[in-house]
Chain A
Amino acid sequence: MAVTSAHAEAVSGQDQAITLSLATEPPSLDSMQATDQIGSFLLSHLMEGLVQYDAEGNLAPGIALRWQVREDGATFWLRKDARWSDGEPVTAHNFVFAWRRAVNPQTASQYAFILFPIKNAEAINRGELPLSDLGVRAVGDYRLEVQFERSCPYFDKLTAFMTYYPARQDIVERWGRAFAADADKMVFNGPFTLAKWVHGAHLRLEKNTRYWNREAIRLQVIDFPYITSDTTAQYNLYKDNRIALAALDAGTLNDAVKRGYEARLFDFGTLYFLEFNQRSERATHNLALRRAIQAVLEPSLLVYKVLGLPGIKPAYSLFPSGMRAYGITFSEQYPPPAIDYNIEKAREYLRQARRELGEIEPLTLLVGDSPRAVNEAEYYQYVLKQALGLETRLDQQTFKQRIAKMRRGEFDIAAAGWGPDFDDPITFGDLFASWNDNNRGRFENRRYDSWVAKAQSSADQETRLQAFDRLQHIISEQVVIIPTYENVGMYVQHPQLQGVRRSLFGGDPNFRYAWVEP
């Protein structure tokens, strides 16, 4: 039994080593199958895609030295000095293999959809075409040619995402279903290797000495000897100088401030909202009813008067306030549509809804089971009753059950959330397109669909930004959702630990360019 490792200090300047905790065991480190935040965080240190994000958070060359995105496809020229951790060169064939495996219906990857801009990807995933028809091929070992299904001006950003990471056919085939289930059943092409994985207990990353850009990597070891999702436990470990970074919540924030720690903020870019069920048999199908509800639910009241938690701010648009596009903050250039919070008007809408619908049955409000979700739900219930005389029935469900009920349409109003997948507003914008499986309220609007199509396919910056602006207005006018709040994360970080980048995309937090001040 090794006692020493668990007693290691949070940081070591001499060894350039840091110790951290993980919230959960990664469910999968198979980059073509991983879907979760922990997996994405670890993989972003173990692997590298065609492009990556640099120390400033800008898109930068990864395995690809340069690239070109055209109307009908893209070309990536790969660097010749990239190596896997076992010394094999990283080639274009590794990408072809990985992308084919990701869309293979037998792999059943939940993120297969992110490859759908590639020609035939969706049809292959439906089992209608063979894998070899996927619109990607290697020209020699170091050139990758991609054909598009439809124009995709942001394709280069997509390739930074984990599902697009390369994979080694020989390793995947050697281990079969056990691939990436243990540290010795995978290989790495990123700045670190997984040196140790004791399930549920301990993971350890060590610098990959064969990584092409190894000179830029200063950390030698990132050790995770603690796995717990309990934020108080994480904070206690931080106080005891066992880990170098810990998230804060309302409970631990006070103590951190009292101790004089610097509480840092990080905008997760996650939007929370109320979604209406628009299936025709539901009362919420009625626009006047939705408008009545919109006019009485003011996000700032909810956030400041009811929830009163640090790190939460009111939301007013489909696009989170920090969403950036083409180097601008979208909400600054295109402010969210104004909403008239007016109880008289709300009652007028409600009268109209009653004329159109007759008697309104109690509405089912589908919510999560966390204390915050309950608080929130009681507030909605109270406001709708007080201001509009509308009865609501709370349906509290655990996460999986709530998602299942939303998918089946068993709700009138549901409290939901969405986080971005990649660095383009379309990651929120296409959410309510009629064809999107995540459009669980089944909102259908031809104008909305056509603006989404325009934003997806146009290469022109101005056209796309205009389209996003139209989308946020339609969301508000049609009351598809009522944005409620955005979550801002708070954390403490060891003062000697420098160069950590918090990022919405490509794995967070990012320790690639971090170091320990001696």
Chain B
Amino acid sequence: MIAYILKRLAYGAITIWFIATATFFSMHAVPGDPFNEAKAASPQLRQNLMARYGLDKPVTEQYLIYLRNMLRGDFGISFTQENRQVNDIIREHFPVSAILGVAALLIAATGGIIGGAVAAHWHNRSPDRAMMIAVVLAISVPSFVIAALAQMAIVRANDWLGFPLLPVAGWGGISHVWVPALVLGLGTMAYLARLMRSSMLAVMQSDYVLTARAKGLSDWQIFRKHQLRNAMLPVVTELGPTIAAITTGGFVVELIFAIPGLGRYFVQAIQQLDYTVIMGTTVFYGAFLVLMVVLIDIAYGLIDPRIRLHGDGR
């Protein structure tokens, strides 16, 4: 077990190095640099800026310097947020994204698993059909539309009630979390519901469920002990990448609800070619994703004892 985990972590480190390298060189291959502003910089000024940020050195040398600093945990200073450390940006804004992400994931996982189980249980009857229509809607309507609609709904509700029931936007209290988290988790919830439903249907037709029925277990016991637990496996596998996606994919939701999360910095940095922030956020998210996948692999073994985690792989 330990050997397996160590091996996965070592692979993870190589993956992160690869992400960092690929990002670094593709980022420098994009035309332009962080200093292209509407008002032109004179050749002299460009030279001053390049020197100040160390961009006057050859790209390979910059790469080596970057790697060395990265190993020390120093991601450098932002090009566009003057005087701000990338480390500070991540430290201050990732927790916000994480709170939002965890809340979204709780909503998504609970809703998805229950919804999928319900749909499978009443397979091809009206709860199933209603659920599948909702699922298709939630997957196909883009989150910026849902976010805008949700926000309008809050404005309407506050207007109608005559007092602010929920904040329209902003961050700081528990009341700020729910609606953005629901919007953020909706797509994932729908996806998980569909996954759960098909997995549930497969399980229901399996031999061991038939056996359980034959030995006279009640419907509820079968559902709880044999169906739900087995059907959840593929869902749990999906959770790892989903956690990463949900905590990083909140750009639109963060923008519309004025939430100071990291997703916004991630996207804006790319638009502004803010080299250090692009690198910092990409490497950080990459590491986060790798870590989640490893954690889920371990959790997987705990849920399903048939899967043994050995150093020699599976």
Interface residues of A in 106-141 (CB under 8 A from B): 106-113, 125-127
Cross-chain contact B175 with A403 (CB below 8 angstroms)? no
Chain A residues near B96 (CB-CB < 8 A) = 201
Cross-chain contact A106 with B48 (CB below 8 angstroms)? yes
Residue of B nearest to A404 (CB): B32
Cross-chain contact B31 with A233 (CB below 8 angstroms)? no
**Which of B62-70, B149-157, B190-198, B304-312 lies at the binding interface?**
B149-157
Q: State how many angstroms separate the Cβ of A244 from the closest Cβ of chain B.
A: 14
Cross-chain contact A6 with B172 (CB below 8 angstroms)? yes
Interface residues of B in 159-218 (CB under 8 A from A): 159, 164, 167-176
Cross-chain contact A28 with B82 (CB below 8 angstroms)? yes
Q: A108–B268 Cα gap in the complex (Å)?
A: 23
Q: Does B300 contact A (CB under 8 A)?
A: no
Cross-chain contact B82 with A437 (CB below 8 angstroms)? no
Interface contacts (Cβ under 8 Å), in number, total 174
Q: Does B7 contact A (CB under 8 A)?
A: no
Chain A residues near B37 (CB-CB < 8 A) = 35, 110, 403
Q: Does A341 contact B (CB under 8 A)?
A: no
Q: Does B39 contact A (CB under 8 A)?
A: yes
Residue of A nearest to B167 (CB): A6
Chain A residues near B32 (CB-CB < 8 A) = 400-401, 403-405
Q: A123–B38 Cα gap in the complex (Å)?
A: 23
| A112, A199, A436: the one within 8 Å of B84 (CB) | A199
Cross-chain contact B92 with A233 (CB below 8 angstroms)? no
**Which of B13-21, B230-238, B253-261 lies at the binding interface?**
B253-261
Q: State how many angstroms separate the Cβ of B260 from the closest Cβ of chain A.
A: 4
Chain A residues near B42 (CB-CB < 8 A) = 113, 125, 437
| B39, B173, B264: the one within 8 Å of A110 (CB) | B39
Q: State how many angstroms separate the Cβ of B141 from the closest Cβ of chain A.
A: 16
**Which of A176-184, A322-330, A379-387 lies at the binding interface?**
A176-184
Q: Does A409 contact B (CB under 8 A)?
A: no
Q: Does B110 contact A (CB under 8 A)?
A: no
Q: Does A239 contact B (CB under 8 A)?
A: yes
Q: State how many angstroms separate the Cβ of B241 from the closest Cβ of chain A.
A: 26
Q: A21–B152 Cα gap in the complex (Å)?
A: 17
Interface bits A210-240 vs B (CB < 8 Å: 1, else 0): 0000000000000001111110110011011
Interface magnitude class on chain B: 35 or more
Known: A35-B39, A230-B256. A399 touches B271 (CB 8 A): yes
Interface bits B30-56 vs A (CB < 8 Å: 1, else 0): 111111111111111100110110000
Residue of A nearest to B257 (CB): A233
Interface bits B79-116 vs A (CB < 8 Å: 1, else 0): 01111100011001100100000000000000000000
Q: Does B285 contact A (CB under 8 A)?
A: no
Chain B residues near A240 (CB-CB < 8 A) = 154-155, 158-159, 164, 168
Q: State how many angstroms separate the Cβ of B245 from the closest Cβ of chain A.
A: 21
Cross-chain contact A227 with B155 (CB below 8 angstroms)? no
Which one of B40, B148, B258 has the highest number of Cβ atoms from chain A below 10 Å of its Cβ? B258
Chain A residues near B164 (CB-CB < 8 A) = 7, 240
Chain A residues near B173 (CB-CB < 8 A) = 1-3, 6
Q: A105–B96 Cα gap in the complex (Å)?
A: 38
Interface bits A188-208 vs B (CB < 8 Å: 1, else 0): 000000000011111000000
Chain B residues near A28 (CB-CB < 8 A) = 81-83
Interface residues of A in 241-286 (CB under 8 A from B): 242
Interface bits B130-148 vs A (CB < 8 Å: 1, else 0): 0000000000000000001
Cross-chain contact A228 with B169 (CB below 8 angstroms)? yes
Residue of B nearest to A128 (CB): B44
Chain A residues near B88 (CB-CB < 8 A) = 199
Cross-chain contact A1 with B174 (CB below 8 angstroms)? yes
Q: Does B265 contact A (CB under 8 A)?
A: yes
Q: Does A434 contact B (CB under 8 A)?
A: no
Residue of A nearest to B49 (CB): A108
Cross-chain contact B82 with A404 (CB below 8 angstroms)? no
Cross-chain contact A226 with B84 (CB below 8 angstroms)? no
Q: What are 10 A-B interface contacts by the 8 Å CB criterion?
A: A1-B172, A2-B172, A34-B82, A110-B35, A181-B83, A198-B260, A201-B171, A233-B255, A400-B273, A436-B40
Q: Which 3 A-B pairs have the closest CB atoms?
A: A404-B32, A28-B82, A3-B173
Starting from the known contacts A198-B260, A202-B260, 17 additional A-B residue pairs (CB-CB under 8 Å) come to A1-B174, A7-B167, A24-B268, A35-B37, A105-B44, A126-B44, A199-B89, A200-B265, A201-B260, A237-B168, A242-B170, A400-B273, A401-B30, A403-B38, A405-B32, A437-B41, A438-B39
